[in-house]
């Protein structure tokens, strides 16, 4: 929050930058898809801005640009449990895919093992440092189930712990497991973990007196829009940075805090390269075709229900533990769902929730497709045979 606040203040104080709050990108503009000049359909794949929705009015405007940078964050919101901000459903990945950008490594979605869980309460990370200090994972009966999974017990690596929790929940039907810090002194917990204590207490859980309910959650997407270290993609004048991009830095499993480093270094390198290209390049954006918007409004209840179905499907069949049969079922459900969502989108005025749903189902299908094509368990992509997964 502190970093974002400082950045927003710097942007607002910088001449030449206009920040539009309450807007969201709907689709990228490319010469071959959106130019008002018929001959541009024969041009190389080139981006020249985006269609953007003003959410308060429902109006869509074409924003033309010589350079467009995708920095839309991750796709954890396509799963039932996520540490990402609301609305992080792979907007950049879906928009890039629709114009022909190359995507890579989308099967590698990192799951954090311990996230606060309570009905109607926001999810937030419960740091692994708490287990490092001596807190242990227990089931609904207070049993330390991790001891039977790994000799390191609750101190096993995060991927092992996340899988063990997910398999325990699937086997028992319980909604969550519990992190028990009763072996630690109350003053130590409050001094060492003040943020977690305060947030949990705000939702009626006193970490110093009782176990805290936790579940695993989608945390970080190692894959994304394929980009070099200067943010360049295979689409001319389109850059991707941050979690939206995949530069290869994270491999099959991100190390802690390297994403912040990538954001800082990658964004700076991209900005410097773009300044040089803007000064020396001759590209002049063309005039886009006007947006055609239907008058009908989407039923918000149906939109919410469809998004929940996407999230539940991804969590059950394409989440922490995957198998060929589970992935095939996810694909069938999502393909049928996408057909209905596309009809929604064609017939209704765009709204934030509808745009989010459209991108969520597409991002989900892309993750499932990538996972299906990769039978090898590596990093945060874990695949079991059908027989093993169902035993």
Which pLDDT does position 390 carry in this prediction?
Answer: 60
pLDDT for 16 equals: 86
Mark residue 200 as left, alpha or beta (left: phi above 0; alpha: psi -120 to 50; beta: remaining).
Answer: alpha
Output the CA–CA distances (angstroms, integers) from residue 252 to 224, 229, 296, 378, 381, in the order listed.
12, 18, 43, 6, 8
- Per-residue confidence (pLDDT) for residue 391, from 0 to 100: 55
Mean of all residue pLDDT scores within the chain: 93
Computed on alpha carbons and rounded to an integer, the radius of gyration of the chain in Å comes to 22
Q: How far does Cα 4 stand from its chain's mean position?
A: 18
pLDDT at residue number 317: 97
Q: Is there a shared CATH topology between the 110-219 domain and the 300-390 domain?
A: no
Strand 59-64 relative to strand 47-54, pairing: antiparallel
Residue 46: C-alpha distances to residues 24, 30, 97, 234, 324 (Å): 21, 5, 14, 9, 37
| pLDDT tens-digit readout, 42-69 | 889 999 999 999 999 999 999 999 999 9
Q: Which tokens go with 155?
A: 């101190």
- Rounded to two decimals, the pTM is 0.93
Looking at residue 178, what is its pLDDT?
Answer: 97
110-219 maps to which CATH number?
Answer: 3.90.700.10
Catalytic residue among 158, 199, 232, 326: 158
The pLDDT of residue 23: 96
Q: What is the 3-state secondary structure (H, E, C) of 159-192?
A: HHHHHHHHHHHHHHCCCCEEEECCCCCHHHHHHH
Across the chain, where does the E strand assignment appear?
Answer: 23-30, 47-54, 59-64, 68-70, 103-104, 109-116, 136-138, 177-180, 212-221, 224-226, 238-240, 245-246
Q: What is the pLDDT of residues 361-376, one digit of tens each?
A: 999 999 999 999 999 9
Domain ranges of the chain: 2-80+88-109+221-280, 110-219, 300-390
pLDDT of residue 389: 63
* Segment 2-16, tens digit of pLDDT: 888 898 899 999 988
Q: What is the pLDDT of residues 276-314, one digit of tens each?
A: 888 887 888 888 988 988 888 888 999 999 999 999 999
pLDDT at 250 over 70: yes
What pLDDT does 325 receive? 96
Domain 300-390 bears CATH identifier 1.20.58.100: yes
Residue 158 is among the residues annotated as catalytic for this protein: yes
Q: Which fold has domain 2-80+88-109+221-280?
A: FAD/NAD(P)-binding domain (3.50.50)
Q: State yes or no: pLDDT of 1 exceeds 80.
A: no
pLDDT digits (tens, 9 = 90+) for 99-119: 999 999 999 999 999 999 998
Q: What is the pLDDT of residues 230-248, one digit of tens each?
A: 999 999 999 999 999 999 9
**360 close to 78: Cβ distance less than 8 angstroms:** yes
Q: Which long-range contacts (CB under 8 A, 24 or more apart) does 18-23 make?
A: 20/52, 22/54, 22/55, 22/56, 23/52, 23/53, 23/54, 23/55
The Cα 233–Cα 236 span in angstroms is: 7
């Amino acid at each position: 929050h502190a970093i974002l606040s400082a950045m927003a203040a710097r942007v607002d104080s910088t001449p030449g930058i206009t920040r539009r709050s309450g807007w969201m990108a709907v689709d990228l503009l490319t010469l071959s898809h959106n130019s008002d000049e018929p001959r541009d359909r024969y041009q190389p794949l080139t981006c020249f801005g985006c269609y953007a929705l003003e959410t308060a009015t429902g109006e869509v405007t074409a924003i033309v640009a010589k350079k467009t940078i995708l920095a839309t964050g991750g796709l954890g919101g396509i799963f039932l449990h996520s540490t990402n901000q609301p609305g992080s459903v792979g907007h950049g990945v879906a928009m890039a895919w629709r114009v022909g950008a190359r995507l890579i490594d989308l099967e590698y979605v990192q799951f954090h093992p311990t996230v606060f869980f309570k009905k109607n309460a926001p999810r937030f990370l419960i740091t692994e440092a708490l287990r490092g200090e001596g807190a242990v994972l227990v089931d609904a009966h207070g049993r330390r189930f991790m001891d039977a999974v790994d000799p390191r017990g609750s101190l096993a690596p995060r991927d092992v712990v996340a899988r063990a929790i997910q398999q325990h929940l699937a086997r028992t039907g319980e909604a969550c497991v519990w992190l028990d810090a009763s072996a630690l002194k109350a003053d130590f917990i409050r001094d060492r973990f003040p943020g977690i204590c305060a947030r949990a207490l705000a939702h009626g859980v006193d970490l110093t007196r009782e176990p805290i309910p936790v579940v695993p959650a989608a945390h970080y997407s190692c894959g994304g829009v394929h980009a070099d270290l200067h943010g360049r993609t295979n689409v001319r004048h389109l850059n991707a940075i941050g979690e939206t991009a995949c530069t290869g830095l994270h491999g099959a499993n991100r190390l802690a805090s390297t994403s912040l480093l990538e954001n800082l270094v990658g964004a700076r390198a991209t900005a410097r390269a773009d300044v040089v290209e803007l000064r020396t390049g001759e590209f002049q954006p063309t005039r886009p075709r006007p947006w055609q918007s239907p008058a009908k409004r989407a039923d918000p209840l149906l939109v919410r229900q469809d998004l929940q179905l996407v999230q539940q499907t991804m969590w059950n069949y394409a989440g922490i533990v995957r198998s060929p049969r589970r992935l095939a079922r996810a694909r069938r459900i999502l393909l049928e769902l996408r057909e209905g969502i596309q009809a929604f989108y064609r017939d209704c005025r765009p709204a934030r929730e509808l745009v989010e749903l459209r991108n969520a189902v597409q991002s989900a299908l892309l993750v499932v497709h990538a996972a299906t094509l990769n039978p090898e368990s590596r990093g945060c992509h874990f695949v079991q045979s059908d027989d093993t997964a169902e035993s």
